[in-house]
Structure 1
Amino acid sequence: MRRTEALKIITRVLKQPVPDVPPADLITGHSVAVFDPRATERPKPWAIQVDVLALKIAGQLPLEADSEQSPVAQAEDAKRSRDLPGELDILIGAGAALTSAPWYPARPGDLVHVHFEPVGSMAAFGETYLLTAGAHGFLSMKLLCHSLPEDTEFLDGMVGCFTVEDDPDPLSDLWFEAGPHRLTVIRDGRPVHTGGTR
């Protein structure tokens, strides 16, 4: 989860009344929590600005790569919320982030590793792809190896799904669907993009 989203969630929760507790009028921008004067049992008030408290809590949250969403997943969330401008901003921003990366465009010989988080009973695994020159002037991306056991159910449908032949932008699907935070791009033996690094 991105820190800004965590901050919004925490602020919303802090403002929301808690059942069986005298409600507090916690207003962002006010430095004192004003409690309902009609409450028979009044908790000891504490004074803090709500957005400051939310910022302090959000600052303590772990930021793990597996909690981030791919651009496609973010856009789907915006679509479910009927936020068309947000959906477009996410997709356009992700495309711009790819095409403006200092190592873009991909080159023959680049290695791309994608890390997948565990899902259900399946353990985390990774795939490594090699970019090669395509037959018609573009690039192909072929699966070199993966770390799933060979007896994994539905193995054929799970690995190698980002293989492309003679594609003008072979990294596009990986970037949007898996997410840049799950990708490592290696060029000439050196990492040029390490998505899991902060």
Structure 2
Amino acid sequence: MQSEDAKSRRNLGGEVSALTAGEQSLRDAPWYPARSGDVLTVRYAASGSEPACEQTYDVVEDNDGPLVLSLRSHTFPEEFAGSAGAYARGCLVDDPFFEPWMEVGPHWLAIERDGNGIVVHGSR
């Protein structure tokens, strides 16, 4: 992603700028913020000998009240199954989409609103 490219060039200003722009694009999305009942699907392209796969999360309220991702299912091969659910706790309280949005990128995400089948971002 842009921030990783800037980081590899040791361009701190470019990295901060890319991260800030990414966060702003999430917050500007018409469906933002996440709601309890939303469904997030994270897709990964095939790479080398690794097949394409995905993981699906439900947005739920944690015991303490904030929204978090809860892993519903994944299609990771057995040798990578331990990586499934990596976004389940997230890095920002009450913003479950932030980490996958920034890490994987919005073009690899699909978000279904309130679990009712209406995709508000990406595609199935």
Shorter-chain TM-score: which interval? Answer: 0.7 to 0.9
1:184 paired with 2:110, answer: yes
1:164 paired with 2:82, answer: no
In the aligned structure 1, how far is the partner of 2:123 from the partner of 2:89? Answer: 21
Structure 2: give runs of 5+ residues left out of the alignment: none
- Tell me the residue number matched to 2:61: 133
In the aligned structure 2, how far is the partner of 1:96 from the partner of 1:195? Answer: 21
In the aligned structure 2, how far is the partner of 1:130 from the partner of 1:180? Answer: 17
Selected match of 1:88 from 13, 16, 20: 16
What per-residue deviation string (whole Å, max 9, x for no partner) do you get for residues 148-190 of structure 1?
A: 34xx21421x211111179321111101101111000001320
In the aligned structure 2, how far is the partner of 1:140 from the partner of 1:155? Answer: 20
What per-residue deviation string (whole Å, max 9, x for no partner) do you get for residues 7-26 of structure 1?
A: xxxxxxxxxxxxxxxxxxxx
1:101 paired with 2:26, answer: no
State the TM-score, normalized to the length of structure 2. 0.87
TM superposition shift of 1:195: 6.8
State the TM-score, normalized to the length of structure 1. 0.56
In the aligned structure 1, how far is the partner of 2:12 from the partner of 2:68? Answer: 33
- Tell me the residue number matched to 2:101: 175
Post-superposition, which runs of at least 4 consecutive aligned residues in structure 1 deviate over 4 A? none
Structure with the bigger percentage of strand? 2
What per-residue deviation string (whole Å, max 9, x for no partner) do you get for residues 63-93 of structure 1?
A: xxxxxxxxxx321211222322221111000
Structure 1: give runs of 5+ residues left out of the alignment: 1-72
Percent identical among aligned pairs is 38
What per-residue deviation string (whole Å, max 9, x for no partner) do you get for residues 21-61 of structure 1?
A: xxxxxxxxxxxxxxxxxxxxxxxxxxxxxxxxxxxxxxxxx
Larger displacement relative to structure 2 (74-83 or 85-94):
74-83
In the aligned structure 2, how far is the partner of 1:119 from the partner of 1:141? Answer: 25
- Give aligned pairs, total: 121
- Tell me the residue number matched to 2:7: 79
